[in-house]
């Protein structure tokens, strides 16, 4: 793995190589696995049966679109644990909510987004909560004004965001009472996702 190669280089007296895009994705997958394992402490819920037409729909998805959503999710998960910093948009220094989203979309897809959550809420197309897909933006009213907070939907009712001062980038559930009551809407930036 990339981390092992970097450790070996440092032990040999060199410097660690800069991780490749694949290495970053591997680290993101490892982070996602750790998050999934955290959820294993409770009794797993029985998955709902999948209707036949849902299988057909999944088979007809454009792989490039699925890959774009997956890339956004991996980049978002790679930043879990980074510190919150008001006005921040750099993984080395920290993120605020819109800084995290702008960084992830730029890193994952080369897509430049506006700097504020309010401006981001005007991009892409509106998505119903029941139709959310990986990579969609989810918006919340956290300061008595619409679209004052933004996160990235990662699937299974969860999203990644930079919540507030003194905290870190983390994964939350949309069903959490606080977030559910403040949900403002969602936007899709990757066409056909």
* DSSP character at residue 39: G
Kindly state the DSSP code that residue 122 receives in the 8-state scheme. Answer: T
Q: Which of the following is catalytic: 77, 97, 109, 134?
A: 97
Q: What is the pLDDT of residue 68?
A: 86
Please identify which of the residues 161, 162, 171, 193 carries the catalytic annotation. 161
Under a CB-based contact definition with an 8 Å cutoff, are residues 75 and 108 in contact? yes
pLDDT of residue 192: 54
Strands of the chain, DSSP E: 89-90, 94-95, 125-127, 137-140, 149-155, 158-161, 170-173, 183-188
What is the mean pLDDT for each group of 10 consecutive residues in the chain (193 residues)?
A: 43 47 48 39 32 38 62 95 95 96 96 96 95 96 93 96 94 96 94 59
- The CB density around residue 172, as the number of other CB atoms within 10 Å, is 16
pLDDT of residue 193: 53
The DSSP-derived string for 53-64 is: HHHHHHHTS-HH
Query: What is the token pair recorded at 172?
Result: 């939350």
Domain range summary for the chain, segments of one domain joined by +: 63-188
Question: Of all helices (H) and strands (E), which one includes residue 22?
Answer: helix 21-38
For domain 63-188, give the CATH superfamily: endopeptidase domain like (from Nostoc punctiforme) (3.90.1720.10)
Rounded-to-integer distance, Cα 75 and Cα 108, Å:
6
Question: Could you give the angle at the alpha carbon of 95 between the alpha carbons of 89 and 98, nearest 5°?
Answer: 75
Residue 40 annotated among the catalytic residues of the structure: no
Strand intervals (E) in 14-162 = 89-90, 94-95, 125-127, 137-140, 149-155, 158-161
Residue in 149, 158, 187, 188 annotated catalytic: 149
Task: Say whether 103 is catalytic.
Answer: no
pLDDT at 67: 78
Q: How many CB atoms lie within 10 A of CB 153?
A: 26
**pLDDT at residue 159, rounded to an integer:** 97
């Amino acid at each position: 793995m990339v981390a092992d190669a970097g450790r070996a280089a440092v032990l040999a007296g060199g410097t660690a190589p800069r991780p490749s895009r694949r290495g970053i994705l591997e680290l993101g997958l490892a982070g996602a696995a750790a998050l999934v394992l955290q959820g294993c402490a409770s009794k797993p819920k029985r998955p709902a049966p999948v209707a036949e037409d849902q299988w057909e729909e999944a088979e007809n998805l454009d792989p490039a679109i699925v890959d774009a959503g997956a890339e956004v999710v991996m980049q978002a998960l790679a930043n879990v644990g980074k510190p919150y910093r008001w006005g921040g948009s750099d993984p080395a220094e920290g993120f605020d909510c819109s800084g995290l989203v702008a960084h992830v979309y730029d890193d994952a897809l080369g897509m430049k987004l506006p700097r504020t959550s309010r401006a981001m809420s005007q991009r892409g197309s509106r998505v119903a909560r029941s139709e959310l897909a990986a990579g969609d933006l989810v918006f919340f009213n956290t300061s008595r004004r619409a679209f004052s907070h933004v996160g990235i939907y990662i699937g299974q009712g969860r999203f990644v965001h930079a919540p507030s001062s003194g905290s870190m980038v983390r994964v939350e559930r949309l069903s959490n009472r606080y977030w559910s009551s403040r949900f403002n809407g969602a936007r899709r930036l990757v066409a056909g996702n």
